[in-house]
Each structure stands twice: as structure tokens, then as C-alpha cells.
Structure 1
Amino acid sequence: MKYVVLFALALTMTSCYNVERNCTDFKTGHYFSEITIDGSVFKSEFNRTDELQIETYQGKVDSSEVRWINDCEVIFRTINPKNRIERKDIHLKILTTTDSSYTFEYSYVGEDTKQKGVANRVK
């Protein structure tokens, strides 16, 4: 009986928590992102339109085609890849949103290793 009560209490607590995901608010715009990989922070700034994303990372500009799978998932394809790694498409999924930022995870298409980051809208 004690376990049934604990289970019911846990179920009611988790059902009240809804993650906010207003992904359509972030399909276009100007953003600043930070990603931490193995203790190192990588920062970039990018502009995204319905069809294109232009990113500046460590002083280098890179452009990608944008293809939305659904409201919260997008595929990026580098327009002019310079090497084999740049030829791989990137799959990004928005996990949570706030009024001015979103948390995301991304990986190369077909690979299991995922990284997480946060993108903030630049005013």
C-alpha cells in the first residue's frame, strides 16, 4: 500500500511539469550560442532565415542550407564544404525554450554522439 501511495504522488508531481517548447519563435533571427565540449566553451554568432544560416565562429564565416523536419528539428547542410567533415549534415533539435533563448542538442546525421548547447537571441 505504501508503494502505491508513493507511486501516485510521484505521478502527480511529474504530470504537472511541462517543458516549454515554442520552437517556431526561433526559426529565424540573430543568435549567439555557447557549447561546452570536454570543458572548453565554444561561442558562435549566427543569423538564420527560412532557407539559410550564416554563422561566424572564430572569425570564420560559414553558410548552411536550412531544412526544417518539424517545428523543433532542423537539418543544416554546408553550402561550400571544404573537407569531408563539412560534407556531413547536422541535425539539431530544440529541447526547451524561454522567451529569448533555447536549449538544443545536435549531432552529425546518422551518428549517436550528441552535444548540447544554448542559443540566445541577440537584441
Structure 2
Amino acid sequence: MRILLCLFFVFFVSCYEVERNCTDYQTGTFTSAITINDSTYNSVFTRTKDLQVETYKGHVDSTTVRWINDCEVIFRTINPKNMQEQKDIHLKILTTTYSTYTFEYSYIGDKTKQKGTATRIN
């Protein structure tokens, strides 16, 4: 009986998958929150299939959007003003809910990844 319970438990735990309805978040208007070294950075952005316009502390940035698959995207700054802005960003959606998604991102070639949450506002 004990073995049967263990098998039953393993069966249901191994079938659990994190929900990722990434296509629901490929377009729209969102707010995002990213925490780095105990500081939280908030921004608002609008994304279409090809373009993302983000506002952070009154500064507007526009990037092209290239989806690698349903859950991973590459952003490229349209008019970079410095070397940092010339680096492309890779973002991966990790989980989704009915109105939010969690993500991780990094500059292409960097091993350091940051995590954040985005919330749909329309």
C-alpha cells in the first residue's frame, strides 16, 4: 500500500507543469518591476509584434522586437546613444497568470540574468 501511495504521489507531481501562455503577452500595454540590489525599478511599455516603446523615469526608449519562439524575444534599441544601448537584450517568459508574467533577461553574451514581473494594464 505504501508503494502504491508513493507511485501515486510521484505520478501527480511529475505531471505538474508551470503555466506559460506566452502568446497572451506578446502584445499589449504593461508595467514592469525589476529588483536589482534591493532597488526596484518600474517602467511602462507598449509592445506590438514588431516594436516596444518603454517609458522609464520620463525617458522613452524604442526597441525592435524579434520573437525566437512563443516565450523568448530579442530586443534591439532603435537609436542607441551609448555602447550599453547597442547590446541586444534576450528576455524569456518563465511563468504566466491571468494578468502577469514573470521573466528573466540578460544582455546577449552576458551570463548575469535579472528577473522581473510584468502586469498587463489594458
TM-score (norm 1): 0.91
Cα distance change on mapping 1:112 and 1:8 into 2, 3 Å: farther
Measure how far apart 1:6 and its partner are. Answer: 9.5
> How far is the alpha carbon of 1:14 from its aligned partner?
2.6
Q: Does 1:87 align with 2:86?
A: yes
Post-superposition CA distance 1:15-68 (Å, at most 9, x none): 132100000000000000000000000000000001000000011000000000
Q: How does 1:50-69 map to 2 (within 5 A)?
A: 50-69=49-68
Alignment of 1:40-51 (within 5 A): 40-51=39-50
* Pair 1:111–1:7, CA change in 2 (3 A): farther
Structure 2 counterpart of 1:17: 16
The one-letter code matched in structure 2 to 1:89 is: D
Question: RMSD of the alignment, in Å?
Answer: 1.7
Q: In 1, distance between residues paired with 2:8 and 2:114? A: 33
The residue number in structure 1 matching 2:119 is 120
Gaps of 5+ in 2: none
Q: 1:27 to 1:7 in 2, by over 3 A?
A: same
- The separation in 2 between residues aligned to 1:7 and 1:92, in whole angstroms, is 38
- Between stretches 15-24 and 69-78, larger displacement belongs to 15-24
Runs of 4+ in 1 over 6 A off after TM superposition: 4-7
- Shift of residue 12, structure 1, vs aligned partner: 2.9
Partner of 1:38: 37
Size of the alignment, in residue pairs? 121
Point out where structure 1 has 5 or more consecutive residues left out of the alignment: none
| Deviation larger for 4-13 or 92-101 | 4-13
The letter for the 1-side match of 2:24 is: D
